[in-house]
Chains A and B, each alone.
Chain A
């Protein structure tokens, strides 16, 4: 092939027409060309030889021109062939040549005048020519047959014509024709087949060649694409020598990445020219690079991260894909770079952020826990481990709720976690069980944990231990409830303020006392109800106490909208939280009545004091130890002592003539007998002079009736004494004078006596006021007792009812069991069961009764008919009354409007009537009387029963006080009645005498 290539190049220039022809044609054209030249040369030689032969051969006489002419013509034809060939008409040239050559041969044979053999053997040339045909023919093989046929025909014709001339026998002629024809036909067949085979192989070779060229072209094309890709790739690619490590090929992207100026400047560089001195782990780049290259050479490829350094000092990170390959038995390395500077930065930031959050979570006081979508624990923080006692390895990977929760709570948490996969954030309280079995309440804030693409991969919970908080909340709630209840039912007003005095709460009683609504009282509004005269006092009191941790007390007045004045006694104590005063809480008690009493008392005292001070008599008061309590102005004038000097001293030691102690002792004794006594006594004044007094002494009793001392009214009788003496002297002479004096004395005595009487009356009045005051105070104490009992009762009731429920449930169960299984024991056990059931019932009844104290009944207040209430009660008691007790009724017919809680009133009356009925053991009378007066409606229930003893009468309203047999009464009936009447602002009084009966008097205020 190589040789052909070379020959192809050597086609003579003269044949340039055939440059584009196929290879065979080129070779054939060349052959024809050479043949034409050779034939022309041959003919020229032939011409000269013919001329020579003809001139020198005797057979020819001179030049035989036909032969020469013929040869010249032949030469001309050959030249023509050559010309045509050069002009590119190969086919015409070749056939022309063949035809001329054959025609030439036949002509020679025809014209030749030689012997037979000379003429006949020339036919060999024809056969030779026929053998050449495959070289001439280009396309049509059949042309060969045509040539053979023509020549065979010409042979037959030639032999037929020339056989006689050459004296050949017919047989020889035929033989010759046959032999020669066969020779020609065979040469034709040979030529035909040579041509055919030649052409076929040529075709094959050409097609192979064509294929080869195509493949080569494709190869060339792919090579160039590859190159283009390499050069234009955005990914930096470098090819490197595996021995010198020099860069031998590099693309533009790599040049840019390395920060080199051009591809040329980059070639010959080594990895060390583009790397940072040390890599991420601190090892030097050269050492590290050699490791990777060796690995790549050994294993084919390696991927790693590499820290690069640009000539301008910029550092950048790349992921290097290094691979080794062989080219022409040379080992090369190629690597591509992916810039991961950003990724590295992000990774670093991510790592730092993760670090930050991790440390945050670890150090957090809250408990953090993360689970995946299958509730498997992914993460817990340190605090979690501390709180719940599990180590990280014990809990991570476990199904969280199975390990940590009550089975009861598990479903809740599963549902919450399911919800979370739907992106639901939730907060709930749940109890965890620590490793040691301890239960801990948590407030869990759960949120879905998401991956960066937003899908929920689990759930993260932030948990706060609220065990303590729950306990505190519960306690707080209970205490609030207690306060609320207390405040609602309290008979005293309750208020609460902030530290600056701003009022935040007042209870109903407070509002009632101040006559303000809740809204009006809040803030500083309550001040509007305070009496203008008391405002300043209150303000001062407030200021002096504010900031101090002591309770303050103040008395002040409210003016209600209806202008009525209510006196209250206010207590306030600071509320201290964390050593700081948060505000004040206080109570106010209605002391109007006491105030009025006090005022009256004061006025009355004032009156007496003025009276005594302005009296002409000398007045002194001593206690039971004769200590002086009081002396009036006249006393100080008469005896010269200032009241400060004398008060508190033992009177007789100071004032009396020691000789007269007997008189005083006698007097003291008679005074002890609770009588008003009169005697004469001599006093020593401060300056020593003696004054005689006529002393009228009367005992002073306090409100309890116990003597607390004496009051002495003393009339100066010094003068009288002197006169008496004088009288004695002149008795006989001056009788009229005596008489006059005596009269004078009598008048004076009378005056003294009347003064005494007045004093006595005043004292009685004073006693009555004091008694009244005492009653009021007692009532106050009683009602406060009831209120606190109510709060206690409500709490106790519920707590007792639960255990009662156990007993009830238990005994019912036992009874049922007995009925079904142990009938034979039933009779024996019946009384015990009965006992338990009766016990439960009785306890429940008491508890139920207790509840009346706490019940803040808001049932309606309606206009009641007291008589129908009484009748109703009598109906209920009917079977206890019938036949043994006569009920007498004296109902008032006056019009009355009684607004009350009918049910409660009913309960109160029933309780009293029931007591009355029970007090009558056999037969008796109950007298019921109602009347309307200014005070209100009075109901008197009188029974002829057994009565109440003196020592019991004060206790009958106390809860649980009963004289009945155990089990017959709870001891609560009258106590509740008392409360009910109190609630209706009424009064209840009981009078009784053993054996005669009891009188209960109820007064209820009427609404007019």
Chain B
């Protein structure tokens, strides 16, 4: 988890500035929640189930290319939900992936919901692992469990939660099944009742691991307490201009 004190993250004004920069109106909002996931996982359906909006949900990859926003009230707190573009990864140069990764990094959402297709878990996990390198405040929404069941797939949610270090909620967003549990889990992560221990990618080759650690250590020296120094290191090795800029103009300090 981050080194922030619980009190800070609880506060309505926590990281308001960086969100405003990303074009999010945070007035009147207690928590900002990002919604990420592969295309075709029912992400937009989850968005609608949470917000009551009826955004059209298409059955083709790349439907949500623009960021959609909605909100809901839960336990007297106002949540703002940002629907990020559906992507398979956060590592390429396409605009939708850039939007998604920069929002999670620089926008510091209070919680990131990662929607995955239960019948295609392995492929979906690639994105999950990348997101967990950026943020630890995440909830895995294991959607479409009805389709998985039809394909004779059963998923051990507890095992999955243990391995990923974040709460897992099984849902069928189309019929609202699991949405109440999802709502309460989001709240628990937002208020710090659930503390996540996000899984970091382990199976890196020795030479890569060494370089990343060396770079991450140097980053932490300059930006003590940065929760995602490894991700920043990945991006710098990749030659990401936006991150290079954020290092050079000290913007990373705001992410501590």
* A and B associate: no
| Residues of B near any A CB (own CB < 8 A) | none
